[in-house]
Structure 1
Amino acid sequence: MLTIGTKAPLFAAESTKGRIDLQTLIGKKKLVLIFYPGDETPICTKQLCAIRDRYSDLEAADAVVIGINPADLTSHQAFSGKFGYDFPLIADEDQAIRKAYKVGKILGFLFQQRIVYVIDKQGTIVYAKKGNPPVTELLQVVNQNP
């Protein structure tokens, strides 16, 4: 896992909302990257639905949320459509983004770990936590970092 104070690795990838290029977002928006193990799994669904339910608060704090896992775009589109996610889900099929962010594998290497990063507008990681932190905690971090 990358540590607080580390510059966020840049990437460009396809998502449910079109191509996402971090280089175009740095300097303009704060970022919340959610690495989650799998589409349509109970904890992942709960985590992303909690984000969905507070997404307008995150947007008001000038943050963009991006979900990332190795599933393909078709899977992400079905998952996103079923639950009404307004934020993009990135298809990291070659797992290059996961590796750049040092997100490990779990369960016999079948799934990636669940890790959330918050990146400030300068491109620095200001929050890094394994698991499923409450959205209120993410909002607090986003609001404390200009």
Structure 2
Amino acid sequence: MGLKIGSSVPEFSLKDQHGNTFHSKDFIGKKAMVIYFYPKDNTPGCTKEACQFRDSYEDFTDLGAEVVGISSDSEKSHRSFAKKYELPFVLLADPDKKVRRLFKVENSLLVLPGRETYVVDKTGKIIMVFNSINASEHMRRALKALKSQSE
């Protein structure tokens, strides 16, 4: 299991699908984040998960949160994946799995990179962790966690 609820989000920097550097510290104190780790671009489960986040993206931004997807795919792979499915959020390339290790996201079924979602509040504290290889629950649980915090 990765980081726990109540932990501070680790600081990290990675390149996004456009070659820009994303710094997690730029959001702390300003915006909540939904950080989801997924195995691979253009695979059935990962595509389903990304499209669910896309279809509810406005709900997340209305709650003041930014959605961030992370996998070990390249910037180029992320660029074509985001374009193909019209993904409005940032996809970060973690080719050496440095950030995956920072969040302690373990492999699922021993070989697949794990699928894990973190909701981080505006102060940088983790308020939800969900780990499941099943892609269909991640978006719904992240949205529910953000909504319950804003009530």
Scaled to the shorter chain, the TM-score interval is: over 0.9
Shift in Å at residue 40 of structure 1? 0.5
Aligned residues: 145
Letter of the 2:34 partner, please give it: V
Q: Residue 115 of structure 2 corresponds to which residue in structure 1?
A: 114
Q: Residue 47 of structure 1 corresponds to which residue in structure 2?
A: 49
Shift in Å at residue 94 of structure 1? 1.3
The CA distance in 2 between the partners of 1:126 and 1:108, in whole Å, is 27
Return the match for 1:34 from 36, 45, 69.
Answer: 36
Q: Residue 91 of structure 1 corresponds to which residue in structure 2?
A: 93
Q: Residue 135 of structure 1 corresponds to which residue in structure 2?
A: 139
For structure 2, the 5+ residue unaligned runs are none
The CA distance in 2 between the partners of 1:143 and 1:106, in whole Å, is 28
Shift in Å at residue 16 of structure 1? 1.8
TM-score, scaled to structure 2: 0.90
Return the match for 1:79 from 65, 81, 95.
Answer: 81
Q: Please report the RMSD computed on the Cα atoms of aligned residues, expressed in angstroms.
A: 1.3
Shift in Å at residue 145 of structure 1? 2.5
For 1:143, what is the secondary structure of its paired residue? Answer: helix
The CA distance in 2 between the partners of 1:30 and 1:92, in whole Å, is 21
Q: Deviating runs (4+, > 4 A) in structure 1? A: none
Q: How does 1:16-27 map to 2 (within 5 A)?
A: 16-17=17-18, 18-27=20-29
1:12 corresponds to 2:13 = yes
Q: Residue 124 of structure 2 corresponds to which residue in structure 1?
A: 123
The CA distance in 2 between the partners of 1:106 and 1:141, in whole Å, is 23
TM-score, scaled to structure 1: 0.93
CA deviations over 1:58-108 (Å, ceiling 9, x no partner): 000000000001111111111111000000100001111000000012344
Letter of the 2:61 partner, please give it: E
